[in-house]
């Protein structure tokens, strides 16, 4: 599951990103409304954690934009404004939840998970390819009658390949899906190594194909 954090308090954003990453989310971070709009337009996020006050404008505008676009992304407002009227205003903008700073990380993670589950209700419950079955909610993978033990990054890469429906998926896209921008280095061979492990765990006959110059796909 993928989360975008739009927060100009860099230390707070880093803490939230680190905690969510440890809980299994792929996380991107933006410090301005402009960067938040760019990332939101380019990628499919389950949850947007949005500061209401940003240096180049109001997070309210980004919330309105997401709501008006029809995107299924859930919006969690994160702000220092604690008045009831402010919370009501945030929810009326289209936010799905509203948290006042400072917030306990355990509570924030619980709220993000709850929103991600609600967003995921619109998605197919199971992802399938040939005899491979992936349950993104239970985080279980089976091939035929075998249960496969995959780590978090391997599951994220496999999920991205499954959602592509047989189309080629670039290395950059797989990096972003599983590691997020903070960990996506252009010369990193992490994806190649992860694909090698996945091929070994999936077993024969092979499912993951290399598409020269494009990336990987399920064949």
Task: Quickly state the pLDDT bin for 103 (edges 50, 70, 90).
Answer: confident
- Region 107-111: what's the mean pLDDT? 90
Q: Where in the chain is the domain with CATH 1.10.10.10?
A: 127-218
Over 90: is that where the pLDDT of 148 sits? yes
Give residue 121's pLDDT. Answer: 53
According to DSSP H, which parts of 121-165 are helical? 152-163
Q: Which string of b and e fits 52-85 if b means at least 16 CB within 10 Å?
A: bebeeeebbebbebbeeeebebbbbbbbeeeeee
Give residue 153's pLDDT. Answer: 86
For 113, the token pair is 């998970």
Task: Quickly state the pLDDT bin for 14 (edges 50, 70, 90).
Answer: very high
Give residue 90's pLDDT. Answer: 62
4, 8, 199 from 62: Cα distances, Å: 12, 14, 40
Give residue 182's pLDDT. Answer: 44
Angstrom distance (rounded) from CA 65 to CA 28: 18
Query: Would the pTM of this model clear 0.95, i.e. be above it?
Result: no
- Number of neighbours of residue 193 by Cβ within 10 angstroms: 11
User: pLDDT for 178-191, tens place per residue?
Assistant: 776 544 454 458 88
Give residue 165's pLDDT. Answer: 86
Q: Where in the chain is the domain with CATH 3.40.50.2300?
A: 2-120
3-state SS of 15-26? HHHHHHHHCCCE
Task: Quickly state the pLDDT bin for 158 (edges 50, 70, 90).
Answer: very high
Over 90: is that where the pLDDT of 87 sits? no
Give residue 186's pLDDT. Answer: 47
The CATH topology of domain 127-218 is: Arc Repressor Mutant, subunit A (1.10.10)
Enumerate the β-bridge partners of residue 78.
51, 99
Over 50: is that where the pLDDT of 34 sits? yes
Angstrom distance (rounded) from CA 73 to CA 1: 11
Whether 68 and 45 have beta carbons less than 8 Å apart is answered as no
For 188, the token pair is 């990193």
- Region 142-161: what's the mean pLDDT? 90
CATH class of 2-120: alpha beta
- Region 146-173: what's the mean pLDDT? 89
Nearest of 193, 189, 190, 195 to residue 211 by alpha carbon = 195
Long-range contacts, 94-100 (Cβ 8 Å, 24+): 94/63, 94/64, 94/66, 94/67, 95/50, 95/63
């Amino acid at each position: 599951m993928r989360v975008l954090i739009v927060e100009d308090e860099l230390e707070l954003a880093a803490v939230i990103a680190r905690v969510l990453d440890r809980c299994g989310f792929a996380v991107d971070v933006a410090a301005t409304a402009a960067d938040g709009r760019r990332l939101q337009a380019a990628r499919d996020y389950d949850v947007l954690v949005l500061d209401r006050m940003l240096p180049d404008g109001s997070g309210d505008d980004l919330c309105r934009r997401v709501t008006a676009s029809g995107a299924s992304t859930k919006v969690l407002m994160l702000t220092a404004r604690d008045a009831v009227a402010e919370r009501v205003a945030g929810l009326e903008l289209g936010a799905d939840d509203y948290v006042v700073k400072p917030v306990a990380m355990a509570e924030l993670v619980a709220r993000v998970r709850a929103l991600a589950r609600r967003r995921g209700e619109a998605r197919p419950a199971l992802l399938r390819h040939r005899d491979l079955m992936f349950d993104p909610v239970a985080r279980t993978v089976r091939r035929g009658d075998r249960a496969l033990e995959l780590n978090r990054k391997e599951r994220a890469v496999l999920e991205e390949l499954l959602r592509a429906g047989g189309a080629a998926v670039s290395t950059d896209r797989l990096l972003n899906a599983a590691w997020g921008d903070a960990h996506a280095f252009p010369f990193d061979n992490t994806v190649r190594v992860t694909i090698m492990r996945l091929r070994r765990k999936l077993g024969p006959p092979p499912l993951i194909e290399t598409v020269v110059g494009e990336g990987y796909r399920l064949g």
